[in-house]
Structures are given as structure tokens and as C-alpha cells.
Copies of this chain bind each other. A is one copy, B any other.
Amino acid sequence: MNPDHPRLLSAALDAVRYRKPRTVYFVACGGSLAYMYNQQYILDLETDIPGFVVTSNEFIHRNPKGLGKDSLVVLCSHSGDTPETVAATSFARKKGALTVAYSFKVGSPLWEAAEYGLHYDWGPDSDAYEHRAGMALRFMFGLVDTLQPNPKYKAALEAVKNLQAIFTRNKEKFAKAADVFGSSSKREPLVYTMASGPVYGEAYSFAVCLLQEMQWVHSAAIHSGEYFHGPFEITDFDVPFLLMKTAGETRPLDERADAFMQKYSKKVTVVDAEEFDWTGIDSNLKTYFSAPIFGAVLRVYAERLAEHRGHPLSVRRYMWKMPY
């Protein structure tokens, strides 16, 4: 862990306290963008401050009229050198917005561009408390409490301390189901993912990063509330779906989609947040902790799929190999 991290997090929150932003933009690309959905959800339910999730290059070219000195822009790039996200940071800062950027690389171009850089650990030895999952939750609960004093703040910070143990226990708990998914899906050219609420970001991440990017398997993240307004017509006995049922407010949407799919497809895999081992997390926080736990658990599903397909998650044909 970067020893400066607690100071940096508290400096960013001090800046929020001083600047009193009236809108928040969550800006990133791909997997980092997917991560923003849970953060926007926390803001949307715990404060009356509007928050937007937008991909970096769209943010720059769209140039929203509301972006300015009253805005907070939260950005993330894992390596800290995604060109569009670095450019979005400079762009937002030039417009007078308060910029806070997450990266696991200290001193990356993203850090140089942002007013406040937040560090997270990475790799097999890092604890989830210092990992992106824990850091993002600590920042978001700090943010909502700074904007409008929040009764869930203390319990949330305590819960983050238990995150690593929760990840470990749930990865074990779902290991067998993950292997069944990997084995039974290995010849599928397409797997749809589905979720709602803050977990939609995890369905998006699994579709675009794990299936399309890392497995070259076709996919689309379907919002379970939208399923009945078009996508459900492609449902058939041989069409595979991976549904992530949230433990939060939008669960009835997932349940309705689940009931329909179970009738008409023989290839539905359900990962249910209500079946997670929640020890160490208050039940009124489940809604905000579902997404990061799905992130940890679904990584195992992707690893088992990769193993059964003989196609490692690290293989690429274009990314990092050529200019684009």
C-alpha cells in the first residue's frame, strides 16, 4: 500500500467539503467504467446530488453544459495511462471541475492530470481493503457523508474491513458452480449476461471484458428491466444467459426475468447475491456490497471458462499489440 494513501483520501474529501459539488460525473472506460455503476448508485440513493456514468471520450466530445466549477469528476484507469481517461481528466480540470482519479500506479499520467489521485493496491497479495473494491467503497461513503452526513457511513467503513474475508469465502462457496458454468459453456459462441441496479455494471464488465475481450465469446449485457421490452424474444432452449441477482432494491426485476428464462431456456446460470456469505456486512448495506462481491466471484466463473476452453484470460489479438 502507498503510505500516502490515507492522507490523499482525506485531502480529496476535504476538497469536496470545501468545493461543495452539485453534480458528479463518473468517467472511465471498459472495466473501470463498469466499476462506476455501483458508485453512482450509492450517490443516487444516499444523496440528492445527480451523478452520471459516462465513457471518457464521450464525456470530452459531448462537453456537457453543466460541467464546471460546481462539478466533481471521479475518474479511474487501472494502469493510469488510458489516453481517453487522462485526456478527460485534463479536460474536466480545465473546465474548473474538481478531479479525483483512481489508479493502482502512483505517479501515472492520470495522477499527474488529476487534482487528487487515489491509489489502490493490486495483485494476489493485496487486501481488498486497499484494493480498488475497498478503496472505491471507502471513497464513496466518505463522499456521501461529506456531502450530506450519512447514518450508514461508520458501518460501511467497518464492513470494508471484512471484504477480503468475504471475497475469499464466497469464491470458495461458488467454486463448484463456477466450474459447472465453465464446463457447460465451453462450446457456446455467445453468452448473454443480465443484471439490474448497481450490479448492471458487473454484467457489463463480464460481457465486454471477460467474454468479448478475454474469451472472444459474443455477449451483451441485458438490463433485467429491459429484457421484456425486446431482448426476451431471442430467448430459446439453447440460448445461454448468466443472470446476477442483486440483494438490493431492484431484485424484483431480476426475479421476473429469472422466472421467464427458466421456462424457455435450458441454459440459465444464476448467481444470486442472497446466497452469498454476508458475514461481517450489515443487511442494509447488502445493496451496495453486492457489486464488488459479484466482481470477485464472477472472476472465478471466467477463470473456469478459460480453463475449459484452453483460452487463457491473458490472451489478446489487438490490445497492447498495435496502435488503434
Contact = CB atoms under 8 A, between A and B. Distances in A.
Contacts of A18: none
B23 A223 contact: no
Contacts of A52: 50, 52
Chain A contact-residue range equals: 35 or more
Interface of A: 23, 29-31, 33, 41, 44-50, 52, 55-58, 61-66, 68, 82, 84, 190, 196-197, 207-209, 212-214, 216-221, 223, 225-226, 228-236, 249-253, 256, 260, 264, 316-319, 324
Contacts of A48: 65-66, 68
Nearest to A32: B229
A43 B324 CA distance: 32
B65 A230 contact: no
Contacts of A218: 190, 218, 220, 234
A62 B44 contact: yes
6 contacts: A82-B229, A208-B226, A213-B233, A216-B233, A228-B324, A233-B318
Contact of A233 (B29, B190, B234, B317): B317
